[in-house]
Amino acid sequence: MHPKDADTDLIPFMASITQQNTAIQLESVNKAYSTPNGEFLALKGISLTIQAGEYVGLVGKSGAGKSTLINMITGIDRVKSGKVTVDNVSVQDLDDNQRALWRGRSLGVIFQYFQMMPTMTVLDNILLPMDLCGRFQGRRSVQRAMKLLEQVELEDHARKLPSALSGGQQQRVAIARALANDPSILIADEPTGRLDNATAEMIFTIFERLVDQGKTVLVATHDNALARRVSHLLVIHDGELIQDVKSGSLVL
């Protein structure tokens, strides 16, 4: 499939029931892993709705099911049953190739371990998703990458290898890379798990700025400090959603 055909190829998977301002919707999502002791249910009947432009925190102890839930939303892994609709696309109906292309174009995903290509410069790491999806090309993509690096205050580091940067700097590069194809939704899985408190604050502040610019940001973390900053808090425990509160009703 040619990258430019991606949006039209996804049309059959557009969900008709979601409203225009719904960014992410899960309906009765179950996820099971096979283990030597049999099937382990890691997500149990999760239903939730995230509106466009919300800053959402997904919190819960280690092992609660945060990464599993994030992987259902990004289509990195498949549900056992239930529906996942992201940006009007029914994720569970896409095949592996379609999901990879859809993710690259529609979502910015940020991981705990930065996942930089170690032999490529910072600039080339940000250009890579643009090259893969074909939305920004040539000089336009370099200009865009430099602008994104400015947004995370790292424009002077463009020609360095990731290994020359601190953890916090690498995570800021990862945010710039996640924004490469201008997705409306950013999803981060424990983005500050390897960073000190001051650096984590900086990352959360960048997310706030992106929300102010109109992005939807979903951050999974076991760091309760984030819970105080978001406008919508989801609390997961043993694979169940035990709290779903929006600002105004947040009691922390």
Binding residues for ligand ADP, per CB under 6 A? Answer: 33, 35, 40, 42, 60, 62-68
Cα within 13 Å of Cα(244), Cβ side: 9
* In the complex, minimum distance from the CB of residue 120 to ligand ADP, in angstroms, rounded to a whole number: 28
* In the complex, minimum distance from the CB of residue 212 to ligand ADP, in angstroms, rounded to a whole number: 28
* In the complex, minimum distance from the CB of residue 194 to ligand ADP, in angstroms, rounded to a whole number: 14
C-alpha to C-alpha distance for 50 and 79, rounded to whole angstroms = 18
* In the complex, minimum distance from the CB of residue 21 to ligand ADP, in angstroms, rounded to a whole number: 28
C-beta of 18 vs 68, nearer to ligand ADP? 68
C-beta of 69 vs 130, nearer to ligand ADP? 69
* In the complex, minimum distance from the CB of residue 218 to ligand ADP, in angstroms, rounded to a whole number: 13
DSSP string over 19-63: -TTEEEEEEEEEEEEEETTEEEEEEEEEEEEEETT-EEEEE--TT
Nearest to 42 by CA among 79, 68, 76, 61: 68
C-alpha to C-alpha distance for 19 and 242, rounded to whole angstroms = 25
* In the complex, minimum distance from the CB of residue 110 to ligand ADP, in angstroms, rounded to a whole number: 14
Q: How is residue 14 annotated by DSSP?
A: B
* In the complex, minimum distance from the CB of residue 63 to ligand ADP, in angstroms, rounded to a whole number: 4
C-beta of 67 vs 216, nearer to ligand ADP? 67
C-alpha to C-alpha distance for 173 and 151, rounded to whole angstroms = 10
C-beta of 166 vs 224, nearer to ligand ADP? 224
C-beta of 4 vs 113, nearer to ligand ADP? 113
C-beta of 65 vs 129, nearer to ligand ADP? 65
C-beta of 120 vs 235, nearer to ligand ADP? 235
Backbone angles phi, psi at 228, to 5 degrees: -80, -15
Q: What is the crossing angle of helices 197-212 and 167-178, to 10°?
A: 20
Amino acid at 164: A
Q: Which residues of 106-145 are buried (b: 16+ CB within 10 A; e: fewer)?
A: bbbbbbbebebeeeebbbbbbbbbbeebbbbeeeebbebb
Q: Report helix, strand or coil for 174.
A: helix
Backbone angles phi, psi at 101, to 5 degrees: -70, -45
